[in-house]
């Protein structure tokens, strides 16, 4: 009885202190039918009201550094302190997901892509903001169709646009009279010609085989089948998948002996040092070094080739900024998003940080033409037009990368890899969000 009496007294004291210690009413959790906090009303978007917010970006020296530069300007103009937190790709993906599912809500703006599809329902619809502020004028045609949606509403604003591509030595192709390939058969013919004509110190091909998450990009480009069957479940066409994996193995045979262990930086360095005639990569990772004579021996000698179009699709890397619904001030978050992704900042972010532009005008600006050359991005623009996100969740992408990687180092055959992919995918559920994503390209769903 004595313990109960003291406990009751303690509870009463705490209630009195709490009621006297603040004049603010307790926070109320909005119902699911309530309007999103901070969503714009009629008229222009309200001025920022938050004092501080945290935004996430990939740790790359590109997006994160551009964000840090904007943060100083943003505080000066709006009085809002922006903390830019940057993580490696896999950690960024995990931290964003954990922040949402744990209910911490410490990030006002999140960087990501379609691999966050399982938490798309937590993201703020942005259509009303876009319409009020006229965001998107001047974007590369069709780009907003490739951004992220949930239930028909835009939830992601694009930035740092890239499409996986083939970067090649223009001088060598011209010297040997080799035409750029338009089909995968022609691609392998190019490699064979290069192998016959190149000096032994130059490999026909380079790729970051030691970066397992990159392997899926090669598969997506070569696999010409569906990812979701007519029953709405994950499934690949095993014969076509095995063919795609065999093609990747064939491609590896034209690379250096250590191609399976090369990091992204090492594979890029091979090309930059003139020791590879072609590389499949993210072209934006080369923009800075490839135009700097102190870092590259191929300045002015390289180009971006259009991917063959008789297989799959190039992997689209269109970073998106998302605003979680649960944060207190979506207006301030939107102000940051639209400024970071603005045409006004696009040219400087490209020239200063190699952040690939989402606006057509930047690629033809005098500054960019002077640095990269006339028509340097024509092939890249074709790849962007054909590119698409992986039509599955991050877990599905992980399965493909891991199992294809096993086949590339000889642990299993291509046919075994295709079968194992289906076995592993069968444990995953195709969510409505994934189905909405995949349905935007008819190739991805079985007819």
Q: Are residues 187 and 243 in the same domain?
A: yes
* Number of domains composing the chain: 2
Q: Are residues 435 and 368 in the same domain?
A: no
Q: Are residues 88 and 212 in the same domain?
A: no
Sign, Cα dihedral of 279, 283, 287, 291? positive
Domain of residue 215 covers: 165-316+375-444
Q: Are residues 284 and 396 in the same domain?
A: yes
Q: Are residues 141 and 169 in the same domain?
A: no
Specify if 210 maps to a domain. yes
Written as six digits, the tokens of 437 are 């994503």
Q: Are residues 296 and 353 in the same domain?
A: no
Q: Are residues 357 and 422 in the same domain?
A: no
Q: Are residues 213 and 339 in the same domain?
A: no
Report how far residue 158's alpha carbon sits from residue 341's, in angstroms, rounded to the nearest whole number. 7
What pLDDT score does 46 carry?
53
Strands 165-169 and 302-305: antiparallel
Specify if 65 maps to a domain. yes
The last residue of one of the domains, among 354, 372, 390, is 372
Q: Are residues 298 and 363 in the same domain?
A: no
Specify if 224 maps to a domain. yes
This model's pTM is above 0.95 = no
* Contact (Cβ atoms closer than 8 angstroms) between residue 58 and residue 90: no
What pLDDT score does 369 carry?
95
pLDDT along the chain (447 residues), means of 10: 35 34 32 35 53 95 96 96 96 96 96 91 97 93 92 95 96 98 97 98 98 96 97 98 98 98 97 98 94 96 95 94 96 98 96 95 95 93 92 93 97 99 98 90 93
Specify if 241 maps to a domain. yes
Q: Are residues 197 and 270 in the same domain?
A: yes
What pLDDT score does 49 carry?
56
CATH assignment of the domain containing 263: 3.40.190.10
What pLDDT score does 114 carry?
87
């Amino acid at each position: 009885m004595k313990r109960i009496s003291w406990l009751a007294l303690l509870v009463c004291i705490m209630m009195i202190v709490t009621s006297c210690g603040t004049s603010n009413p307790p926070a109320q959790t909005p119902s699911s039918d309530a309007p999103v906090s901070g969503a714009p009303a009629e008229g222009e978007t309200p001025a920022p009201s938050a004092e501080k917010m945290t935004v996430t970006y990939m740790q790359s020296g590109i997006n994160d550094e551009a964000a840090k530069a904007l943060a100083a300007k943003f505080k000066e103009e709006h009085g809002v302190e922006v903390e830019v937190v940057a993580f490696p790709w896999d950690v960024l993906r995990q931290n964003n997901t954990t922040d949402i599912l744990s209910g911490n809500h410490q990030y006002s703006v999140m960087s990501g892509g379609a691999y966050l599809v399982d938490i798309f329902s937590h993201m703020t619809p942005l259509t009303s903001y876009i319409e009020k502020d006229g965001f998107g004028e001047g974007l590369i045609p069709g780009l907003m169709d490739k951004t992220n949606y949930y239930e028909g509403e835009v939830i992601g604003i694009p930035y740092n646009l890239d499409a996986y591509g083939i970067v090649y030595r223009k001088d060598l192709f011209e010297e040997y009279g080799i035409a750029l390939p338009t089909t995968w058969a022609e691609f392998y013919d190019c490699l064979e010609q290069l192998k016959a004509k190149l000096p032994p110190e130059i490999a026909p091909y380079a790729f970051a085989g030691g970066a397992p998450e990159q392997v899926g990009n090669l598969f997506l480009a070569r696999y010409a089948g569906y990812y979701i069957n007519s029953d709405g479940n994950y499934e690949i066409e095993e014969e076509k998948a095995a063919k795609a994996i065999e093609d990747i193995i064939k491609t590896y045979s034209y690379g250096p002996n250590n191609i399976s262990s090369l990091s992204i930086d090492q594979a890029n360095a091979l090309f930059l040092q003139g020791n590879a005639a072609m590389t499949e990569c993210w072209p934006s990772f080369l923009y800075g070094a490839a135009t700097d004579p102190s870092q590259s021996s191929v300045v002015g000698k390289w180009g971006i080739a259009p991917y063959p179009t008789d297989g799959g699709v190039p992997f689209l890397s269109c970073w998106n900024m998302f605003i979680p619904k649960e944060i207190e001030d979506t207006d301030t978050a939107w102000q940051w998003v639209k400024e970071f992704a603005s045409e006004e900042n696009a040219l400087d972010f490209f020239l200063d940080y190699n952040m690939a532009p989402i606006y057509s005008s930047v690629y033809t600006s005098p500054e960019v033409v002077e640095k990269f050359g006339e028509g340097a991005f024509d092939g890249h623009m074709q790849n962007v037009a054909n590119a698409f996100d992986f039509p599955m969740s991050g877990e599905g992408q992980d399965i493909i990368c891991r199992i294809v990687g096993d086949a590339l180092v000889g642990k299993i055959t291509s046919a075994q890899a295709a079968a194992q992919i289906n076995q592993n995918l069968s444990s995953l559920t195709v969510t409505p969000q994934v189905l909405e994503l995949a349905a935007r390209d008819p190739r991805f769903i079985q007819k």
